[in-house]
Structure 1
């Protein structure tokens, strides 16, 4: 799980995000193999994280304080 969180942070940083909120995790079925159905293909569960990337701005910081 820690590795997935780090990957999520790196992806968000590519877009200039300062934080990630509402991180959710889910298991997603994925299939190993090629586009053409071949012998030996199998399905496995992969953990998937998603979240909302936040970019702080000067205006947003002013709204938080008095």
Structure 2
């Protein structure tokens, strides 16, 4: 059980650092495509195709 708690603390610390870097503009995510929620199936297909460099983002 102790390992799980340590993992969760480490994960929380890592996410805090990454989100801080994002917020400060030190790193920026690479977004390959923004696809409407109504086309979620095609967004998933694109992401799974591994033909894009970056994230496929589904937007409302």
Normalised to the residue count of structure 1, the TM-score between the two structures is: 0.25
Whichever structure has more strand as a proportion of its residues is: 1
In our comparison, the structure showing a higher alpha carbon Rg is 1
Normalised to the residue count of structure 2, the TM-score between the two structures is: 0.27
